[in-house]
């Protein structure tokens, strides 16, 4: 039925590497219970792959719908200091005691991809750039939410300063905790998207992603990578740690 037309409607640049697609498929397959499948479709597990293809295609469709719904000028609601959630929940794919400890004195943010000036940035250099801070709601893909205050360099001004190609499709991040993620350029240029240095008012405690975290109040929490080590600009879909396992890539709020 529409599966093929849906897939054909995806522009070539949208098509993720085949390997990543297979990985995702396998992962979704693990997630399907036999009981649920037989109950809902009356089919046996041989239809598993087709189910996963449909779910993946629908997730790509939802990426496009969300990109269309995204208003680059609409700001996420902001809150007062009194609304801040304390203690702010720690959340990662590993335990709190496994969070990496980085040395701020030697830290350098590595740059690559479609960027004119790719020299790495120290924390001191980042702090010399104009800063912005805001109190916004962090919404986790799990459903819970918490309000926090983040301050740092607006990603837009940083991208402009380093001569990034802002017509490129994606901005990707690789992190010291082996996490990785990527966002669309429209969201990267949103005025509230920050390369956050401060949480809430000074350098962030280690477990919250010291020294650099992407703060995107227009996306779910897992699109806010912590412990950022490198940033790149690209037109090739970069995926992400959870995205490659089946979470929706755009995941916009």
Partner 1 sequence: MAQTIDARPGDTPTVEAGAPLIHPLLVRITHWVNAGAMTMMIMSGWRIYNASPLFDFRFPPGLTLGGWLGGALAWHFAAMWLLAANGTAYLAYGLVSGHFRRDFLPLDPAAVWRDFMSALRFRLAHRPGHYNAVQRLLYAAVIVIAATAILSGLAIWKPVQLEVLTALLGGYEGARRVHFLAMSGIVGFVMVHLALVAVVPRTLPPMITGRAPRQAFGVEAPR
Give residues in contact with partner 1 (CB under 8 A): 27-28, 30-33, 35-36, 40, 54-56, 58-59, 61-62, 69-71, 74-77, 137, 139-145, 217-218, 242, 245-248, 252-253
Query: Considering beta carbons, is residue 181 or 253 the nearer one to partner 1?
Result: 253
Query: Considering beta carbons, is residue 87 or 130 the nearer one to partner 1?
Result: 87
Dist. CA 240–CA 139, nearest whole Å = 18
Query: At its nearest, how many Å lie between partner 1 and the CB of residue 23?
Result: 12
**Torsions phi, psi of 30, nearest 5?**
-60, -30
Query: Considering beta carbons, is residue 121 or 184 the nearer one to partner 1?
Result: 184
Q: Do residues 40 and 48 touch, judged by C-beta distance below 8 A?
A: no
Query: Considering beta carbons, is residue 145 or 234 the nearer one to partner 1?
Result: 145
Nearest residue to 209 (alpha-carbon basis) of 42, 90, 40:
90
Dist. CA 122–CA 120, nearest whole Å = 7
Query: At its nearest, how many Å lie between partner 1 and the CB of residue 144?
Result: 4
Query: At its nearest, how many Å lie between partner 1 and the CB of residue 150?
Result: 16
Query: At its nearest, how many Å lie between partner 1 and the CB of residue 138?
Result: 10
Torsion of CA 182, 187, 191, 192, to 10 degrees: -60
Identify the three-state secondary structure at position 98.
helix
Query: Considering beta carbons, is residue 14 or 142 the nearer one to partner 1?
Result: 142
**Residue 2 zone, left/alpha/beta (φ > 0; ψ -120 to 50; rest):** alpha
Query: Considering beta carbons, is residue 63 or 177 the nearer one to partner 1?
Result: 63
Rg (CA), the chain: 19
Query: Considering beta carbons, is residue 20 or 141 the nearer one to partner 1?
Result: 141
Dist. CA 251–CA 66, nearest whole Å = 8
Query: At its nearest, how many Å lie between partner 1 and the CB of residue 38?
Result: 12
Query: At its nearest, how many Å lie between partner 1 and the CB of residue 44?
Result: 16
**Torsions phi, psi of 42, nearest 5?**
65, 15
Structure tokens at 238: 């970069």
Dist. CA 186–CA 188, nearest whole Å = 5
Query: At its nearest, how many Å lie between partner 1 and the CB of residue 71?
Result: 6
Is the dihedral angle over the CA atoms 91, 92, 93, 97 positive or is it negative? Answer: negative
């Amino acid at each position: 039925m529409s599966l093929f037309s849906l897939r054909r409607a995806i522009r070539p640049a949208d098509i993720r590497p085949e390997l990543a697609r297979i990985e995702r498929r396998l992962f979704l397959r693990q997630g399907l219970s036999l009981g649920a499948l037989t109950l809902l479709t009356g089919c046996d597990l041989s239809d598993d792959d087709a189910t996963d293809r449909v779910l993946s295609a629908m997730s790509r469709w939802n990426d496009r719908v969300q990109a269309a719904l995204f208003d680059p000028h609409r700001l996420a609601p902001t809150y007062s200091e009194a609304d801040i959630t304390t203690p702010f929940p720690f959340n990662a794919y590993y335990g709190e005691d496994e969070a990496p400890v980085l040395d701020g004195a030697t830290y350098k943010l590595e740059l690559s991809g479609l960027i004119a000036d790719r020299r790495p940035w120290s924390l001191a250099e980042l702090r010399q750039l104009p800063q912005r801070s805001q109190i916004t709601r962090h919404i986790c893909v799990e459903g819970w939410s918490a309000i926090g205050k983040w301050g740092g360099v607006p990603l837009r001004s940083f991208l402009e300063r380093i001569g990034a190609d802002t017509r490129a499709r994606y901005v990707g991040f690789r992190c010291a905790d082996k996490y990785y993620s990527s966002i669309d350029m429209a969201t990267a240029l949103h005025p509230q998207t920050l390369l956050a240095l401060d949480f809430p008012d000074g350098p962030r405690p280690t477990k919250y992603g010291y020294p650099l975290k992407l703060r995107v109040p227009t996306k779910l929490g897992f699109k806010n990578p912590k412990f950022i080590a490198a940033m790149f600009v690209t037109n090739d879909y970069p995926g992400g740690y959870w995205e490659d396992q089946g979470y929706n890539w755009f995941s916009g709020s």
